[in-house]
Every structure is written in structure tokens, then in C-alpha cells.
Amino acid sequence: MPELPEMETYRRLLQQINGLTITDTHVEREKTINTPPERFAQIVVGNKITLVDRRGKHILFHLENHYVLLLHLMLGGFLYLGTTEDRLERTAQVTLSFGSRILYFHGLRLGYLHLLTTAQIDERLSELGPEPLAPTFTLSHFSSLLSGKRGILKTTLVDQHWLAGIGNCYSDEICFHAGILPTRRIPDLTSEEVAQLFRSLQAVLKEALQFGGYMDTPLYRGDGLTGGFDDRCRVYDRGGEPCPRCKHAIVGDKLSSRKVFYCSHCQN
């Protein structure tokens, strides 16, 4: 499932559609949207994109009529920006056309593209935790959030109500970078370990952003950024491979029905 670095990469690359007018739309799968396709088209078509924003794992397409398209890709979703000539040989659940350019929403069997008012958006996103890369998110803030938790580290890191944007992949990568097992209980962490976790969280997410996250499909033809972090993952989906730090085999396991990957030798 795309996480903060993947969605932020999309946000940055999609700045090229800011100011463009939606000239047409097509809905192949009605369950992907939250309103009848005819009304969806009536509200969306003819409006400019005024802002492409992100909150947690969501992308927000702000329209000039003050509606917002809220995208959550969930598992298997991805975007492609192209034309009818270079489109992918896959069904898109929704498309937004900007003249000859088309934004294809693929793989939204679990994901959605909901049309909401600004008030509805505020309500929908109100329960999300803070953004981990926001300038206001400090070690003090992070420590304060952790101080009230009693559970397992990985389970807490992926809780979107606690902190927005981190999922299975980056929770494991952060814990590996910090040298701390994702299975540790939070009350057992020392203040030094908490500080290291914060530094690792910042370092891993910033590196993932620098290399375009781990999505394996480019956003558009010639996109050389998207997916560059996939080969840089140290432990996620690397079960049985040698640890890049100590060469012991990486453990692949399940934790509360989630995949978890770590090195039992050099993470404590």
C-alpha cells in the first residue's frame, strides 16, 4: 500500500496539472466514487485544479468550485498521467481528462476517489495524527506521543490516528535504521532509543522521498523518479536475505496480521 513517500512523490509530480481545467471524466467502476457518475461529472467537468495537496496517505485535488477530490489508493492502487496513445493496457476505474492529457486512476478495487466539500474534507481527515515530516513535529512532540502508548512499536507506528502516513514498509525500515526491533513494547524503550527512533523516522522518510518511494509504475512516460527507493529497502520484503548490516538472515513474520521484517541479530 502506498505510504507517505509514495503519495508525496505523486503530489510533487502532479503539480503540472495545477491550473488545468478538467474537460471530461469517465467512471468505469461506480463503487470507486461516492456519488452517481452523472452528478460527479456535472460537478467536476469545467473546473480547474487549484491545488494538489497531501494529508497522510491521501491526495487531495482541490477544485475552483471549492469541492475536493479525495484519493486513497489503498492496496494495489496507482496513478498514470498520459494520453490515449500511451495509456497502460489496464482498466482505469476513473479518468480525469485535461484536453489530450488524461489522469488514470488504476487498481482502485479497494481504494476510492470521493467528491467532498471542504467542510466534509475537514471532518474526514480530522482524526489523522500529525505529519511526521512537518517542521512542527519535533523530538519533544514524538516523545510526548509515545509516552501515552503501551502497545507494540510497529503497531503504533502504522496507526494513522497516532501518526499519519507510515505503513508496513516504512515502519520496518525505520526500526531497522534505528537498530530497534519492531516487536518491542513501547514502555520498554529508553529515552535514547526514542531519540534514535525519531532520527531514523526523519532519515528514512526523507531518503524515500529523495528516491521517489517504492511504487513500481512511473507516473508518466519519462518519469525517472517514481519507484527509486524500492531497491534501497533494507529489510521490507527481504525475508531470508542477508541483513545489509550484519549479514544474518532477515526474519519475515506476521505481527497482528501484518507482515513484519527485521534482523534478530542487530536489532535489539
Backbone conformation region of residue 61, classed left if phi is above 0, alpha if psi is from -120 to 50, else beta: beta
54, 57, 154, 238: which is the annotated catalytic residue?
57
Distance of CA 26 to the CA centre of its chain: 25
Q: How far apart are alpha carbons 168 and 171 in whole angstroms? A: 6
Cβ–Cβ < 8 Å for 117, 66: yes
11, 232, 258, 259: which is the annotated catalytic residue?
258
Closest to 134 (Cα-Cα) out of 210, 232, 201: 201
Active site residue 258: yes
Active site residue 3: yes
Active site residue 242: no
Q: How far apart are alpha carbons 137 and 139 in whole angstroms? A: 7
Active site residue 238: no
Closest to 166 (Cα-Cα) out of 197, 137, 131: 131
Catalytic residues: 2-3, 57, 258
